[in-house]
Amino acid sequence: MTESLVVPTESSASQKPSPAPYVLPAGLAERLARRVVAPARAQTQPCVTPFTGGHLADLPVSTIDSVDHAYRAAGEAQPRWAAQSIADRARMLLRLHDLVLRHQDELLDLIQLESGKTRRQAFEEVLDVAGVCRHYARKASEYLRPRKRLGAIPVLTQTVELRHPKGVVGVVAPWNYPLSMSITDIIPALLAGNAVVVRPDEKAALTALRSFELLDQAGLPEGVLQVVLGDGPTIGKAVLDRADYVMYTGSTRTGRSVARDAAERLIGASLELGGKNAMYVAADANLKAAADCAVRSVFSSAGQLCVSIERLVLHEEIAQEFLTHFVAKVRDMRLGPDLAWGNDMGSLISQQQLDRVTAHVEDARSKGASVLAGGRARPEIGPYFYEPTILEGVTATMACRDEETFGPLVSVYRVSTDDEAVELANDTSYGLNASVFTQDVSRGRALAARIKAGTVNVNDGYIAAWASNGAPMGGMRQSGVGRRHGAEGIHKYTEVQTVAVQHVMPIAPVKGVPEKAWAKGMVLALKAMKAGGLS
């Protein structure tokens, strides 16, 4: 393991941090900036830390011409990259796996500084990247190999399914998981033989650029991955408008526009969008374990996670006992901006996110909801800190009932039956993630199957499904289209081609055989194939 990358100043441990309690080593930002496709004298954008609002670095801003240049360079490099064997590409990913683990301390520093999350929650991103690298490196040959398919006429028709790269994939990544979301969508795209043009969010660019530097160190050829920086409406849109395939993570509102634009060009798109995820704690649940998991699942990354839990659905028989455990744990949570292990929750990313959380809490409070814990900002810790908050008595008149908060806020609901719990879990336009706590696993599986969400965790909040890299992850309804992980997570970056070879005789009347007789023979053949169980 390497030593920490970021140098703390003397004030870094203070409860009242100075405007810039952490500084980057000299030359780091300049080195990372060289990876960005931008004009020689580009405008710059500041990188700030939500821990204090302090300035970290300045990075160049790309232009539309920069995006065009990036696509030309990626398009030129892609055929050479696709010509390499899958085994060679997989070895590059295994080297990246090792590099991410070796440099985890400096990556954790950058993740924390840019996202505001705690070190433990930042470590989830390191685990995620390593897991995705390992999975696709080991499974790519199986996922992408040619597959024999049943031909039109057994033996005489030999059919094979092939998979080819799409070309140049456009990726627009979000800010909330600056390491994981910047690179894990790129990994299967590259392994499938594509080149990539990526636009990391401006709030998360340092972490993303450091991860791309490690990717280069792992052996990615020059030109295959192009990086541009800039705002979403301009540079992000330009990236997606030029792609052969689109990968977007962000809000449902923007996702609809991305989908419309992709459909207009008749290209594919994978979109992971918003969520309003529910956790049901059944009457037979282990309440202490459920409360521990709820703390992690609601407040990880200060709730700025698409799969985090925003609604707690409690069976009325255990609701009060569960809340006794849960409220006590939430009130005891440690908040702080330290680049060290031990804190339970960090900061929101920006004033915009703080305003949204505050508005949701105050709207609910003014309309009669009860605040069981939290409910206030903590500017003495940092400018965007907000206490982990539990609301009860939330009704349909309150914004937080149906709108995604994307912050450290959860609302509590009581039900009398499993059926009522499933109905409430499904009472949303979203369908990304859900959770069921019960000691009866069969019951849990049955309830999970009834919830309209792309992933459902039994006796876990989100990590169990998210970290199952061999299984697809994505949303139903307004939570998006397409899937990450598993076979679907790499197949989406490929074009499927069927090659059929016909032997001996055509699928047509043979010369000298009357058409009626030929048709009768084909009918007999079809009946024989049905009787023989052929598909």
**First-residue to last-residue Cα distance in the chain:** 54
Closest CA to 280 of 136, 435, 146: 435
Closest CA to 210 of 110, 112, 97, 70: 110
Using CB atoms within 10 Å of the CB of residue 23, give its burial: 0 to 12 exposed, 13 to 18 middle, 19+ buried. middle
Positions marked active-site: 272, 306
The answer to whether the Cα torsion of 313, 315, 319, 321 is positive or negative is negative
Q: How far is CA 6 from the centre of its chain?
A: 26
Helical (H) or strand (E) element with 37:
none
Strand-pairing partners, residue 240, are none
The first and second tokens of residue 313, run together, are: 């659905």
Pairing of strands 268-272, 309-315: unpaired
Residue 87's CB is within 10 A of a number of other CB atoms, namely: 10
Helical (H) or strand (E) element with 68:
helix 64-83
- Cite the DSSP H helix spans in 373-440: 399-402, 418-425
State how far the Cα of 85 lies from the Cα of 169, in Å rounded to an integer: 19
Exposure class string for 7-20: b at 16+ Cβ within 10 A, else e? eeeeebeeeebeeb
The first and second tokens of residue 176, run together, are: 């909330």
Instruction: Tell me the three state secondary structure of residue 389.
Output: strand
- Cite the DSSP H helix spans in 19-63: 28-33
